[in-house]
Amino acid sequence: MKLSMRAVPEHPSEPRIERARRHAPALVVASLLLGGCVLAGGEGEPPATNRTDFNDEVYPVLLRDCGFPECHGALSADEARFFRVYGPGRSRLDPATDPLAPYTPEEREFTYERARSMLASATRAEDTLLVRKPLAVEAGGAAHRGRGESGEDVYLTTDAPGYQALLRWAETAYPPGAP
In 3D, which of 60, 36, 9, 14 has the Cα closest to residue 162? Answer: 60
Residue 36 is assigned to a structural domain of this protein: no
3-class SS of residue 34: helix
Residue 166 is assigned to a structural domain of this protein: yes
Domain that holds residue 134: 47-173
Q: Tell which wins on pLDDT, 76 or 129.
A: 129
Residue 11 is assigned to a structural domain of this protein: no
Q: Where are the alpha helices (DSSP H) in the chain?
A: 16-34, 51-53, 59-65, 105-117, 129-132, 161-173
**Within a 13 Å sphere around the CA of 3, how many CA atoms are in the beta-carbon half?**
1
Residue 17 is assigned to a structural domain of this protein: no
Picking from 8-17, 50-59, 101-110, which range would have the lowest pLDDT averaged per residue? Answer: 8-17
Residue 160 is assigned to a structural domain of this protein: yes
Mean pLDDT of 106-110: 95
Distances (CA, A) of 136 to 9, 24, 158: 42, 33, 9
Residue 14 is assigned to a structural domain of this protein: no
In 3D, which of 165, 170, 145, 173 has the Cα closest to residue 60? Answer: 165
Instruction: Report the pLDDT value the prediction gives residue 76, as an integer from 0 to 100.
Output: 56
Instruction: Report the pLDDT value the prediction gives residue 80, as an integer from 0 to 100.
Output: 61
Rounded CA separation 43/81 (Å): 20
Q: Convert the pLDDT of each residue in 122-146 to its tens digit.
A: 889 999 999 998 898 898 888 776 6
How sure is the predictor about 41, in pLDDT bands with cuts at 50, 70 and 90? very low
Domain count, the chain: 1
Q: Tell which wins on pLDDT, 14 or 163.
A: 163
Q: Convert the pLDDT of each residue in 154-172 to its tens digit.
A: 888 999 999 999 999 999 9
Residue 33 is assigned to a structural domain of this protein: no
Instruction: Report the pLDDT value the prediction gives residue 11, as an integer from 0 to 100.
Output: 44
Instruction: Report the pLDDT value the prediction gives residue 62, as an integer from 0 to 100.
Output: 93
Rounded CA separation 123/131 (Å): 13
Residue 90 is assigned to a structural domain of this protein: yes
* Residue 46 scores a pLDDT above 50: yes
Long-range contacts of residues 40-46, Cβ cutoff 8 Å, at least 24 apart: 41/121, 43/120, 43/121, 44/120, 45/120, 46/113, 46/116, 46/117, 46/119, 46/120, 46/173
In 3D, which of 145, 161, 152 has the Cα closest to residue 60? Answer: 161
